[in-house]
């Protein structure tokens, strides 16, 4: 079903290689998205904050301001999905990108089909959040509480011992999935499928880095977590106190 101009999703493409931008613009617009373009980091931040796109495709190697810094600056204000574009040998940059709040990364050279699958998966999660917020206006509180952890699904709000914790959409989704089944160990593969939204694309290290980032926000002692616990060799679970 074709989207009208009013409800088309807008994607900001940030890359200094014009051939890549042209390919992305062509394929995204063919899929029914609107596109914005930035060829350097400073312009990317300006456009992101002023236009508030629905999703950002962000290259790491950029003139004027690198992609990791762009990610950090945008994430401080906007909670939209950010997909980092990295070269094959930039392993440390992938991890850093996720630590700074990126939702996902995809390695160059990438297939258009894989990229579209990633984009759709990330936008679906955002749409689900918006739908939940709209439902909350009907007055039904939708919460999950496990021990010190409280999740308000209507407000997308996380609290630990009454203190509000600032999480990205992806981090909240991970906690929500685990907290909805406290004590149940969930594998990295299942988290990748259920939270990131794809089965055969992606890297389970994405899950590990995201969990580490969540722990840095919700745990008093990340070396001895009391809320988000690892079952060695299997996966993760929320401790049911």
pLDDT tens digit string along 104-126? Answer: 888 888 888 888 988 988 887 66
Mean pLDDT check: name the lowest of 12-16, 65-69, 152-156, 236-240. Answer: 152-156
Q: Which CATH class is domain 141-238?
A: mainly alpha
pLDDT at 46 over 90: yes
Closest CA to 187 of 233, 225, 218, 150: 233
Q: Write down the pLDDT at residue 76.
A: 87
The two beta strands, 157-160 and 163-165, are: antiparallel
Q: Write down the pLDDT at residue 201.
A: 57
The CATH architecture annotation of domain 10-128 reads: 3-Layer(aba) Sandwich (3.40)
Q: What are phi and psi for residue 202, nearest 5 degrees?
A: 110, 180
Q: How confident is the model at residue 8 (pLDDT cuts 50, 70, 90)?
A: confident
Q: CATH 1.10.10.10: which residues of the chain?
A: 141-238
Query: Can you point out the beta strands (E) in the chain?
Result: 10-14, 34-38, 55-59, 82-87, 104-108, 143-146, 149-152, 157-160, 163-165, 186-187, 228-231, 235-238
**Mean pLDDT (the chain, rounded):** 85
Do 219 and 228 touch, CB atoms closer than 8 A?
A: yes
Q: How confident is the model at residue 31 (pLDDT cuts 50, 70, 90)?
A: very high
Q: CATH 3.40.50.2300: which residues of the chain?
A: 10-128
Of the chain, the percentage scoring pLDDT greater than 90 comes to 47
């Amino acid at each position: 079903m074709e989207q009208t101009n009013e409800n088309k999703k807008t994607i900001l493409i940030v890359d200094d290689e014009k051939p890549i931008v042209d390919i992305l613009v062509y394929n995204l617009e063919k899929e029914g998205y609107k596109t914005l373009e930035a060829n350097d980091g400073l312009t990317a931040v300006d456009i992101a904050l002023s236009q508030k796109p629905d999703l950002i495709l962000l290259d790491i190697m950029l003139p004027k301001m690198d992609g990791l810094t762009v990610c950090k600056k945008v994430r401080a204000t906007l909670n939209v999905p950010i997909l980092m574009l990295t070269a094959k040998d930039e392993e440390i940059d992938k991890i850093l990108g996720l630590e700074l709040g990126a939702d996902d990364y995809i390695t160059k050279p990438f297939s258009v089909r894989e990229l579209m699958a990633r984009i759709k998966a990330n936008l679906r999660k955002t749409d689900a959040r918006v739908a939940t917020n709209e439902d909350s206006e009907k007055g039904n509180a939708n919460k999950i509480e496990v021990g010190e952890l409280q999740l308000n699904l209507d407000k997308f709000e996380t609290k630990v011992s009454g203190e509000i914790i600032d999480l990205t959409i992806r981090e909240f989704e991970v906690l929500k999935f685990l907290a909805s089944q406290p004590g149940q160990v969930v594998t990295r593969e299942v988290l990748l499928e259920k939270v990131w939204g794809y089965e055969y694309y992606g890297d389970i290290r994405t899950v590990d880095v995201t969990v580490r980032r969540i722990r840095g926000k919700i745990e008093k002692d990340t070396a001895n977590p009391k809320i988000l616990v690892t079952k060695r060799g299997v996966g993760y679970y929320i401790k049911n106190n």
